[in-house]
Amino acid sequence: MSTSSCKLLLITILVILSFYEIKCIHTSSENIIGANKLMQMPLFNIDTVGDFDAGYCEEYTNSTSWKGKVLLNFTFDLQPRYIYIEGGAVAICCSSATNSAGHRSKNSTNPIGWSLEILGDSKTHKGQVTLRCTAYDYGITRIIHQKNVLSGMTGRLTPFPTPPPACPTYESKTTCPTEDFRCFWYGKKCNSQPPIQCGVNTPKGWSNMPLCIHLEINTSKWGEVTYLSDEASYNETVIVKPPKQITNGDAWFSVADGIKLHPTVETSYRYCTQYSAVCNECKSTNASTYLAICLSLNGGIYDLQVSVNQTLFSFAGKWVAEPFIANVVVNDLSKKRRNYDKND
């Protein structure tokens, strides 16, 4: 049985510099400790930049911050000498804010605000300090007389890309863009959502949201496919049951994803479905063949396993984060795979 695995998708920030380490945090009201002397160091580009319309990275004002909707919030440790130099902490924070601007509330090229706060001596890296970088959405208000904080604006932002045509505007199955899982063909039309509710494997998710399984039978050799059992399953919570017969080569069903939030608790499980298929060309197997699909969650890792008669057929497996789908395509052995590798 071939295996395709995917780790839980987590939003992380990775900046490759040898002298500091990033760690994600939640927004909090923790007290500022120590490091007051650092604010007396010479500042790079300390002059006030008016209303920041120019918005160049590394231009900032000391002792100021912003109040408003937060787009990004993270801490990192850094040696003190790298805080104010060109390309140091200020550049890291401003660049991170620029990268987070894709989540801003409107399609504007105007800069967004960021702030850099010195929290104090690092508790994990001797001789370093801990800093907190925050990026803000539009509509912020400046706060002055803020101890151990400096703030600035990003540069002018790139406009959002032009959105693609809406799914319902595609009139045929061949033109409906299903392979990137933006659109879904069913009911003889192109749809923007799957035919059943699917969750998302992103921070926007909710507790025990549906993890969808989509089966596509991309072979003309199979006739009617019959569901047999869920043998070898345990701890699963089925939300939408698999169809007992698949006659049109397409099936959707779902299980709870096994993640409970607030606090986060994982429930390990395994859900397997087995099928038999009419196959008139399968002479060596009495005009029938088999299919098994197994999903599991264990130790924070989702696993997808598929079993078919690989002397006659191939399969392709793919994970999709939004909507949260485990997609399985069964192909003739000679057919070109659907844009992703067998063990993707």
DSSP string for residues in 147-199:
TTEEEEE--PPPPPPPPPPPGGG--STTTS-TTTTS-EEETTEEESS-SS---
Q: Is 63 exposed, middle or buried (0-12, 13-18, 19+ CB in 10 A)?
A: middle
Report field, pTM of the whole predicted structure over 0.75: no
For residue 132, give the amino acid letter: R
- Whole-angstrom distance, CA of residue 244 vs CA of residue 165: 35
Q: What does the pLDDT look like over 213-240, one tens digit per residue? A: 999 998 888 888 999 999 999 999 999 9
- Residues 105 and 225 both lie in one domain: no
Per DSSP, the three-state class of 39 is helix
- Whole-angstrom distance, CA of residue 139 vs CA of residue 106: 11
Percent of the residues in the chain that have a pLDDT greater than 70, as a whole number = 80
Q: Is the pLDDT assigned to residue 121 strictly greater than 70?
A: yes
- Whole-angstrom distance, CA of residue 34 vs CA of residue 275: 65
Residue with the bigger pLDDT between 283 and 149: it is: 149
Query: Does 177 fall in a domain?
Result: no
Percent helix, strand, coil in the chain, to 5, is 10, 40, 50
Q: Is the pLDDT assigned to residue 303 strictly greater than 50?
A: yes
- Residues 34 and 147 both lie in one domain: yes
pLDDT confidence of residue 56: 57
pLDDT confidence of residue 334: 66
Mean pLDDT of 42-47: 30
Q: Is the pLDDT assigned to residue 253 strictly greater than 90?
A: yes
pLDDT confidence of residue 40: 30
Query: Does 292 fall in a domain?
Result: yes
Q: Is the pLDDT assigned to residue 39 strictly greater than 70?
A: no
- Whole-angstrom distance, CA of residue 167 vs CA of residue 171: 9
Domain with 41, as residue range(s), is: 20-153
Q: Is the pLDDT assigned to residue 44 strictly greater than 50?
A: no
Give the contacts of 252 (CB within 8 A, at least 6 positions apart).
194, 195, 196, 212, 213, 214, 215, 240
Query: Does 315 fall in a domain?
Result: yes
Q: Based on the structure, what is the number of domains in the chain?
A: 2
- Whole-angstrom distance, CA of residue 83 vs CA of residue 116: 10
Q: Last residue of a domain, which of 153, 173, 208?
A: 153
Query: What CATH number is given to the structural domain containing 266?
Result: 2.60.270.50
Query: Does 160 fall in a domain?
Result: no
